[in-house]
Amino acid sequence: MFEIFNLRDDSFPVTPAGQADTPWFGFKALKREFETVLQRSGGETLRLCILNRGIYGAGKTHAASYFSQKLASKRSTEVYQNFTPVLIEAPKQPQKAFADFSNRLLNAITFRRLGRLSENLRTRIGEDALFERLLTATGSEDVALALSGLNEANLLMSKTYLLGGGTVKDLRELRLAKKLLNDHDFALSIIGVLYLLINGESDRHESMSRVILWIDEMEDLVFFPTRYYLPFTQALREIIDNTPLHLTVMLNFTFAEPENLPAIENVLGQAIMERVNQHIVFKEPSTDDLKTYLLDCLSYNRLDKRKLSPTFPFSSDAFELVIDTAAFKTPRFLNKLCDQILRETYPEWVRASTKPSEISRAALEKKLPSILGLLEETRG
């Protein structure tokens, strides 16, 4: 559809579009903040905990997707041979929230990968030594047994156990005493899983990986009754405290007033807030931020790279009007605005006997009232 404007159809997604290579447009200062944190993660062994906060649509999920992809292909450093990003959403259901979180984490990692990591460590140090190390890390004999003996033959039973299930027969075959029953049990299993991710990439020599655990949409906890979100944050703190090395935790938090830290602390709890090493705030974008963002977006999504005005399909003054209309709003609003402008313009360009050279400011001024009304309705 948008090829008539020399652009990809998905040029202005409302959420990250799941491309193999997520792009970054504009916002260079914000990008540098993340790069500094991740550079520190690659050069230090101590755990880091970062709170990313901003209003809805400011780009936190996009940042998580972009940097997770970059980290997955990042070269080794003097400290780490691998970087392991794990991007998940916070749980959506209040009851058994931490079990839900654990399941999301395990499915993002995949059980086959856990089996391979366990096998690598068994090959390198032996099953008994692996059990002892996992026991030291988790303090749970059952979790240490399950993870140190994870293999292709028992993968399904082990998966069922780690997801909180398992029959008496399954547990007996795995030599385990009981199922994972509460948030503490699930937290111990995640601590063990993180140990495998950090230490198990190689079967030949000692190998250390930095795990970047990125938890998106933490604001969903706001809708949980206190009796549900407090146990969740306590279990998350247990994981953080018991993985003091080789881990970076990134927490994305959307709030109407991102500067209102007491309100955020009320949800995350003082214990987690005290463990936060750095805050990255998605501030209200400036006009220059939005201009650079949109110019980068248009350039990246062009189908034909022939020489065109950088603002095409907008005339230069129509481009300025788009930016003025999006002033003090988010990149997501700008995307929705541009997408709707092109959809409203498309029928006219198709019908025109001579295709217009660009969208003029006068034509855009006529369309804006109805477009803004539509965007307001969809927002409501």
User: Does 131 share its domain with 87?
Assistant: yes
User: Does 259 share its domain with 298?
Assistant: no
User: Does 221 share its domain with 96?
Assistant: yes
Task: Label residue 16 exposed, middle or buried (CB < 10 Å: 0-12, 13-18, 19+).
Answer: middle
User: Does 217 share its domain with 289?
Assistant: no
* 22 located within any domain: no
Residue where a domain terminates, one of 249, 282, 315: 282
204-228 per-position pLDDT tens digit = 999 999 999 999 999 999 889 889 9
Which two tokens mark 286? 């400036």
User: Does 162 share its domain with 212?
Assistant: yes
| pLDDT at position 116 | 97
Which two tokens mark 165? 């299930």
- Please determine, for residue 260, whether its predicted confidence score (pLDDT) is greater than 90: no
Span of 178-187, 237-246, 349-358 with lowest mean pLDDT:
349-358
Residues 6+ apart with CB under 8 A from 68: 85, 87, 212, 214
* 175 located within any domain: yes
Higher-confidence position of 18 and 102: 102
Structurally, the chain folds into a number of domains equal to 2
311-322 per-position pLDDT tens digit = 999 999 999 999
User: Does 248 share its domain with 307?
Assistant: no
User: Does 57 share its domain with 161?
Assistant: yes
- Please determine, for residue 133, whether its predicted confidence score (pLDDT) is greater than 60: yes
Q: What does the alpha-carbon distance between residue 66 and residue 186 come to, in Å, rounded to a whole number? A: 29
Q: What does the alpha-carbon distance between residue 202 and residue 207 come to, in Å, rounded to a whole number? A: 6
| CATH at residue 134 | 3.40.50
71-85 per-position pLDDT tens digit = 988 888 999 999 999
| Cα–Cα–Cα angle for 73, 77, 78, rounded to 5 degrees | 165
* Among 329, 319, 265, residue whose Cα is nearest residue 294: 319
Task: Spell out the SS3 assignment of the chain.
Answer: CHHHHCECCCCCCCCCCCCCCCCCCCCHHHHHHHHHHHHHHHHCCECEEEEEEECCCCCHHHHHHHHHHHHHCCCCCCCCCEEEEEEEECCCCCCCHHHHHHHHHHHHHCHHHHHHHHHHHHHHHCHHHHHHHHHHHHCCHHHHHHHHCCCCCCHHHHHHHHCCCCCHHHHHHHCCCCCCCCHHHHHHHHHHHHHHHHHCCCCCCCCCEEEEEEEECHHHHHHCCHHHHHHHHHHHHHHHHCCCECEEEEEEEECCCCCCHHHHHHHHCHHHHHHCCEEEEECCCCHHHHHHHHHHHHHHCECCCCCCCCCCCECHHHHHHHHHHHCCCCHHHHHHHHHHHHHHHHHHHHHCCCCCCCECHHHHHHHHHHHHHHHHHHHC
| pLDDT at position 222 | 86
324-345 per-position pLDDT tens digit = 999 999 999 999 999 999 999 9
User: Does 225 share its domain with 355?
Assistant: no
User: Does 237 share its domain with 108?
Assistant: yes
User: Does 199 share its domain with 319?
Assistant: no
| Cα–Cα–Cα angle for 71, 17, 21, rounded to 5 degrees | 35
49-58 per-position pLDDT tens digit = 999 999 999 9
| pLDDT at position 192 | 98
User: Does 242 share its domain with 130?
Assistant: yes
Q: What does the alpha-carbon distance between residue 354 and residue 270 come to, in Å, rounded to a whole number? A: 64
Residue where a domain terminates, one of 253, 282, 311: 282
